[in-house]
Amino acid sequence: MKLWLKLMNQETTPTPKKRIFSGVQPTGNLTIGNYLGAIKNWTALQNDYECIYCVVNQHAITVRQDPAHLRRATYETLAVYLAAGLDPEKNTLFIQSHVPAHAELAWVLNCYTMFGELSRMTQFKDKSAKHADNINAGLFTYPVLMAADILLYQANLVPVGIDQKQHVELTRDIANRFNAIFPDTFTIPEPYLPRTGTKIASLQDPTKKMSKSDENENATVRILDDKDTIIRKFKRAVTDSDSVVRYGEEKPGISNLMTIYSCFTGKDFAEIEKEFDGKGYGDFKMAVGEACADALTPVRTRFQELMADKAYLESIAKAGAEHAAYIARKTLSKVYRKVGFVEFKA
Ligand code: TYM
């Protein structure tokens, strides 16, 4: 092709946007860990990427769920996505069980994933210790379903907190193995971690991750907590006997609060240290609580409006699932062809 024609084409053909996929389990009231490690960052990506976000209800049943609660939590999670600022015109938002291709691809990928690989997953080890009476096969193969979620959409990037990084790395290994046998099947995804907030710690034990399922309510701040509750929880947060607001490994409690404050205000650690120089922990904890509550109050208000309009949530989930299913079906058909499944002729 002539050079001028090539240049003209480059100017007129926009580069396709990179694709993003991520999800949250509807297993309880979401925490500021889920918000700062994942959902808040998703809202910053919606203009520059093609984003697909799923409520992963099939993952949720790897531990026992009350069915009525799971149904409610599924719509609540979708409502949190919207309330946090994900625009349904710009993002595809859907519920995992509405797109059967996830379970279908997971089966195929199960046959390309090694027992040893799954045994090494730290989340499997943690969860099987926690639910010793229910170490089911789904809990073990959970990362394979997650790989199917990501690979179905040929996602380039997967924005997650640090606890999910190992699963995204396994997804890459599975995809590379499959591609080595059947070339050009899957895009190899990369984990996409936020600059700060990849691991928000428990307010009661800062050596542990803040987790939705923590039984100590003071350990977690929920996205939907009201202002008084948020401030009370921060006031009770475990710190150390020192009284200097400084970031450091030896001060995990204060460092965690500084991370949370930094995520909500955009200030870096040096600025925060300066702001609280000569002030005690009481003032600092109050400021963290205020910053967190101020950021989350509009999310809670919008969430309540959305939950009052079930028909709207259902319409978002339906449109999202239709679009997701269209993309997913293309990948699944390709995989079925490659592995040698005969086509269904209607
Ligand atoms: P889940 O539901 O446990 O968490 C959802 C997202 O929140 C992040 N996160 C945190 N980030 C920082 N600090 C914390 N304390 C914290 N707690 C949770 C998680 O890293 C995650 O990004 N297996 C996934 C869901 C999933 C998925 C996927 C994610 C299923 N399929 C495909 C990405 C792509 C999970 O259980 O996340």
pLDDT at 9: 56
Task: Inform me whether the pLDDT recorded for 174 exceeds 60.
Answer: yes
Answer yes or no: 251 catalytic: no
Which one of 18, 199, 212, 334 is the catalytic residue? 212
Instruction: For residue 21, give the ligand 1 atom closest to its CA.
Output: 34
Domain 217-306 homologous superfamily, CATH: Tyrosyl-Transfer RNA Synthetase (1.10.240.10)
Q: Which residue has the tokens 């099939």?
A: 58
pLDDT per position as a tens digit, 259-285:
999 999 999 999 999 999 999 999 999
Tell me the mean pLDDT in the region 205-226: 95
Tell me the mean pLDDT in the region 10-34: 87
- pLDDT range class, residue 5, cuts 50, 70, 90: low
Ligand 1 centroid, distance to 193 Cα (angstroms): 11
80 Cβ below 6 A of ligand 1: no
Tell me the mean pLDDT in the region 317-336: 98
Ligand 1, atom 1, lies closest to the CA of 24
Instruction: For residue 167, give the ligand 1 atom closest to its CA.
Output: 23
Answer yes or no: 125 catalytic: no
CATH number of 17-193+310-339: 3.40.50.620
pLDDT at 285: 97
Task: Inform me whether the pLDDT recorded for 244 exceeds 80.
Answer: yes
- pLDDT range class, residue 7, cuts 50, 70, 90: low
pLDDT at 147: 98
Ligand 1 centroid, distance to 8 Cα (angstroms): 43
Give the chain's mean pLDDT. Answer: 94
Tell me the mean pLDDT in the region 334-340: 98
Instruction: For residue 201, give the ligand 1 atom closest to its CA.
Output: 15
pTM score above 0.85? yes
**Domain boundaries for CATH 1.10.240.10 within the chain:** 217-306
**Domain boundaries for CATH 3.40.50.620 within the chain:** 17-193+310-339
83 Cβ below 6 A of ligand 1: no
Which one of 209, 233, 251, 285 is the catalytic residue? 209
HEC readout, the chain? CCHHHHHHHHHHCCCCCCEEEEEECCCCCCEHHHHHHHHHHHHHHCCCCEEEEEECHHHHCCCCCCHHHHHHHHHHHHHHHHHCCCCCCCEEEEEHHHCCHHHHHHHHHHCCCCHHHHHCCHHHHHHHHHCCCCCCHHHHHHHHHHHHHHHHCCCCEEECCHHHHHHHHHHHHHHHHHHHHCCCCCCCCEEECCCCCCCCECCCCCCCECCCCCCCHHHCCECCCCHHHHHHHHHCCCCCCCCCCCCCCCCHHHHHHHHHHHHHHCCCHHHHHHHCCCCCHHHHHHHHHHHHHHHHHHHHHHHHHHHCCHHHHHHHHHHHHHHHHHHHHHHHHHHHHHHCCCCCCC
Answer yes or no: 212 catalytic: yes
Ligand 1 centroid, distance to 302 Cα (angstroms): 23
Ligand 1, atom 30, lies closest to the CA of 146
Ligand 1 centroid, distance to 308 Cα (angstroms): 26
Ligand 1, atom 16, lies closest to the CA of 33
Instruction: For residue 163, give the ligand 1 atom closest to its CA.
Output: 20
Would you state the structure tokens that stand for residue 16, as one six-digit string? 């396709």
- pLDDT range class, residue 130, cuts 50, 70, 90: confident
